[in-house]
Amino acid sequence: MRWAGGRRARIGARVAYSIGTGSVDLRRTGFAPVGRDIYCTVTTDAPPSG
């Protein structure tokens, strides 16, 4: 994703398997089974605000 000012962001999502067995990239599977947790991350090249 590209933001104003030329900054970039990447949104990642992983679908959890059964308890204690790990997770898989949502882009790889293309779906999330009912009842599974989805863990999201965002990375960007924008400087921290503050």
pLDDT of residue 46: 82
- Residue 13's DSSP bridge partners are 40
Those residues whose C-beta lies under 8 Å from the C-beta of residue 39, and which sit 6 or more positions away, are 13, 14, 16, 23
pTM value surpassing 0.85: no
Mean pLDDT per block of 10 residues along the chain (50 residues) reads 77 85 86 88 84
Report d(CA 18, CA 27) in Å as an integer.
19
Q: How many CB atoms lie within 10 A of CB 17?
A: 13
